[in-house]
Chains A and B, each alone.
Chain A
Amino acid sequence: MTNLIRHRLFWPIAVLVVLLASNLVFSDNFFTITLQDGHLYGSLIDVLRRSAPLVLVALGMTLVIATGGIDLSVGSVMAISGALACLLIGDLSNPDSTTKVLLVVGAAIVLCLVFGLWNGFLVAVLGIQPIIATLILMVAGRGVAQLITGGQILNVHSSPYRVIGAGYFLSVPVSFLIAAAAVALTVALTRRTALGLLLESVGGSPTASRLAGIRARRITIMVYVFAAAFAGVAGLIYSSDVSSADSNAAGNLIELNAILAVVLGGTALTGGRFSIAGSVLGAVIITTLDITAVSVGVPVETTLLFKAVVVIILCLAQSATFRAKVFGRFAAKRTVTA
């Protein structure tokens, strides 16, 4: 039992289970999954589908944080990728052509890779602090996205593009499949190769890693490129979901949610150790929290407070010091009375 409680992911899983269970109290059919027009339909499917963008962004953020960095620009990169894709699809003669839409999607992701390289260059080559380096793109990127859309909401009518965020493959939401593939890829790269170890060593001490023969600079650039690419895909899902690009709202404040997801998952912001499963869990918890607030009917004015309370409880539960202080005292008292 104590071993179970000590497990890094025990508390996040416990909170997620409690959240889901509390939904059951308020809406009886929360766990019902039906087949609607040939695709799965239900609240749990919503959780999976709507977690996808945050899971992707949190994945990239985990890798960046593992090297002791941080990426504030992910939200802006999301906005740019969605805006560029919608702009290019709007110009297509035949927006229902799958090959052309794939090319557009490729172009949007390539642009995001360039932004990732830029972040990596500022951090690893010029040695600017990550929070400052990515702040530049966070502010400027939103401007770039607005420039692309001309400050308007761009609408597209393209059935292949719609599939990314709102479509289904074999009854399963495509956005969920994309996120799952990204998680699998990241796990394979970091846990099946030496890359994970290298990341942790760079996060622990870049200088020591370099002296030990690790090309720390290259690793650092790489994680920012990863983060931007994942954010780009998240941006495509986000804009495809409603078939439009909103350069102001897309990815707004998602960097903070992603950092929260990473922290809830037990990755330290100081770098070094990281948990991909934890970050994914964190992202799913945040999405479930959003859905629960609406489904339970928390009044609008108190929604943020509701979220804050859940997050604080989770963070306190995860803190070994806090647990020792509170439960330790109870334990001590009990021995006295006995």
Chain B
Amino acid sequence: MLKRLSIAVAGGLLLASTMAGCGGSDDAGSSGGGDDKITLGFSQVGAESGWRTANTKSIQESAASAGIDLKFSDAQGKQENQIKAIRSFITQRVDVIAFSPVVESGWGTVLKEAKDAGIPVILTDRAIDDPDTSLYKTFIGSDFVAEGKKAGDWLVKEYEGKTDPVNIVELQGTPGAAPANDRKAGFGDVIKADPKFKVVASQTGQFTRTDGKAVMETFLKSQPKIDVLYAHNDDMGLGAIEAIEAAGKKPGTDIKIITVDAVKDGMTALSEGKINFIVECSPLLGPQLMDLVKKVQDGQTIPQRVLTEETTFTPEQAKEVLADRKY
């Protein structure tokens, strides 16, 4: 009896937690787009990183300041939650739907429903692989290949006029993730023009600090000479810095470090000279998104691909902007 009761209680708990998970999209249904205000339904991937949190904040804040009614739903990293959220946006007849797809594939059906309902869709930050580009109005986000190229350009410039071979180790992101693939490809394209650049080892650090440190520790022991580290995000670079310091070397001097993202911790290390160069991958695409939403609503034509406004940082530039870095 006790056993059965407890299972029921546990089941109830689980049920309650799943219901709480969907809550975001449910209570968004309170008001449809009745008044003149534009209603934007936005489905976020989740809250898996500081980058993502800053992305969410940017969208919420810029929606408020642009006078757009935002229906926000958190998919908690699950595609089915996201599809549910998009369906509920369609039922509520929002004016525009925007979302960061959790995965690349499987969006055809639900986006077709949105299209049939006459609701324009904007993809943010991540692309989908559906060949039918009429399913969405535009895709706004970073160009990861360009980020890799920027990293490579800096390296080429840094070693201009020198002929000694440059041994590079690379910390890749999660295998298969678009940012990892593209940042690797862009970087490789630029440096392959000069045979002195040689990627001697390239392994995944899973975008995390711990794995970045662990892999760098092994690189330091298995590679006789490392001149440059290229990490696909700041966190792996920060972990690698610890490994380099533990090996009695000076990060930024003995081994030059290039990373991508420009989160606050990375910028701090950059300003201290432990990182030499950071390519920005900005999560603050809220204002640009709201602008696009308004244009779509006005029936203006917008380009199929919009790039996020991004820059690169050297240690000097990092010192200047560090104080008001938001994320």
Contact = CB atoms under 8 A, between A and B. Distances in A.
Interface in B191-217: 201-204, 206, 208-211, 213-215, 217
A39 B2 CA distance: 56
Contact of A128 (B10, B209, B210, B235): B10
B184 to A, nearest CB: 9
Nearest to A243: B242
A241 B246 CA distance: 11
B218 A127 contact: no
A96 interface: no
A41 B245 CA distance: 12
B2 A126 contact: yes
B3 interface: yes
A294 B215 contact: yes
B210 A241 contact: yes
Interface string A14-54: 00000000000011011000001100011100100010000
In the A-B complex, list the 4 residue pairs whose CB atoms are closest, starting with the nearest. Answer: A126-B6, A249-B208, A127-B3, A294-B218
Contact of B203 (A27, A146, A249, A300): A300
B226 to A, nearest CB: 13
B133 interface: no
B203 A294 contact: yes
Interface in A182-208: none
Given A36-B247, A249-B206, A300-B202, A153 B50 contact: yes
A246 interface: yes
B203 A43 contact: no
B48 A248 contact: yes
B13 A300 contact: no
B218 A291 contact: yes
A50 B248 contact: no
Nearest to A133: B10
Interface of B: 2-3, 6-7, 9-10, 13-14, 17, 47-50, 52-53, 172, 175, 201-204, 206, 208-211, 213-215, 217-219, 221-222, 235, 238-239, 242, 246-248, 265
A50 B214 contact: yes
A306 to B, nearest CB: 12
A332 B129 CA distance: 56
Contacts of A249: 206, 208-211
A303 B14 CA distance: 35
A166 B246 contact: yes
Interface string A241-257: 11110101110000000
Contacts of A243: 242
B215 to A, nearest CB: 5
Nearest to B265: A155
Interface string A138-175: 01100000100011110100000000001000000000
B7 to A, nearest CB: 6
Given A36-B248, A293-B203, 7 more contacts: A43-B222, A46-B218, A50-B214, A151-B53, A241-B210, A249-B209, A303-B204
Contacts of A297: 201, 203, 222
A11 interface: no
B10 A151 contact: no
Interface string A115-143: 00000001000111000110010011000
